[in-house]
């Protein structure tokens, strides 16, 4: 017997059936890190869709063909970046769960501000923004809202909260973060959480 699969071929969330690569190998992690960083930098320099894979590999100082050993295309690489960001935000927000909305909002905007370049790129991609909103909506529906008998279906309420939050983040980034995270947290609470909560109950 040949010892059952000692290696770890985990492609992110197991969705992509395509390129397999041992993510425990230092070389692999190094290459993927370099590629991700290059994509972010180049996207901020000249826009996501005009960045070529040759651009990325040259900036990352990595062989051109190496890219395709890890990802099928640019979008798959960018999705990897989103997964990392989502995991980080989740572990940031989980401990603070149940705190008051303004404090939660402050945490969110503090994180976004500290990773503004990556977030700018991610929120510039429609597929990733959709994915983000979908995941967030599911989470919000699970967490709160054991409500009923409103004009507005709970599914829409959850979607509205998440989509509005993402939009607020986008506004903040596009305007070069003119207010500090604490102020944005307060705005988040006053503009999104509080009114929507009231609507879900009474409306």
Partner DNA sequence: TTCGATATGATATACAATATATCATAAGAT
Partner DNA sequence: ATCTTATGATATATTGTATATCATATCGAA
Nearer to DNA, 84 or 186 (CB): 84
Residue 46 region, left (φ>0) first, then alpha (ψ -120 to 50), else beta?
Answer: alpha
Candidates 26, 94, 95, 149: give the one binding DNA (CB under 7 A).
Answer: 26
Verify binding: residue 46, a second copy, rule CB under 8 A: no
The residue (of 66 and 199) whose beta carbon lies closer to a second copy is 199
Q: Minimum distance from CB of 167 to a second copy (Å)? A: 4
Q: Does 62 bind DNA (CB under 7 A)?
A: yes
Choose the contact partner of 151 out of a second copy, DNA, none; CB within 5 to 8 A by kind.
a second copy
- Write out the binding residues for DNA, residues 31-60 only, by CB under 7 A: 31, 52-54
**Token pair in block for residue 145:** 């809202």
> Residues 107, 165: contact at Cβ < 8 Å?
no
Interaction of residue 6 with DNA, rule CB under 7 A: yes
* 162 binds DNA, rule: CB under 7 A: no
Contact residue for a second copy among 16, 144, 147, 199 (CB under 8 A) = 199
Residues near DNA (CB under 7 A) = 6-7, 21-22, 24-28, 30-31, 52-54, 61-66, 68-70, 72-74
Residues near a second copy (CB under 8 A) = 124-126, 129, 133, 150-153, 156-157, 159-160, 163-164, 167-168, 170-171, 186-187, 190-192, 194-196, 198-199, 203
């Amino acid at each position: 017997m040949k010892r059952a699969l000692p290696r770890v071929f985990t492609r992110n969330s197991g969705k992509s059936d395509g390129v397999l690569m041992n993510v425990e190998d230092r070389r692999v992690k190094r290459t993927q890190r370099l590629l991700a960083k290059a994509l972010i930098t180049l996207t901020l320099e000249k826009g996501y869709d005009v960045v070529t894979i040759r651009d990325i590999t040259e900036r990352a100082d990595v062989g051109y063909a190496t890219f395709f050993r890890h990802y099928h295309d640019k979008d798959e690489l960018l999705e990897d970046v989103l997964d990392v960001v989502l995991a980080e935000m989740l572990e940031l927000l989980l401990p603070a769960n149940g705190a008051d909305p303004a404090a939660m909002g402050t945490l969110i905007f503090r994180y976004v501000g500290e990773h503004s370049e990556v977030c700018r790129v991610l929120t510039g991609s429609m597929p990733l923004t959709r994915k983000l909103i979908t995941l967030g909506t599911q989470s919000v529906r699970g967490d709160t809202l054991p409500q009923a008998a409103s004009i507005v279906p709970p599914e829409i309420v959850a979607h509205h909260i998440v989509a509005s939050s993402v939009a607020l983040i986008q506004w903040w980034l596009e305007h070069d973060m003119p207010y500090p995270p604490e102020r944005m947290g307060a705005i988040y609470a006053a503009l999104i959480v509080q009114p929507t909560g009231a609507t879900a109950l009474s409306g």
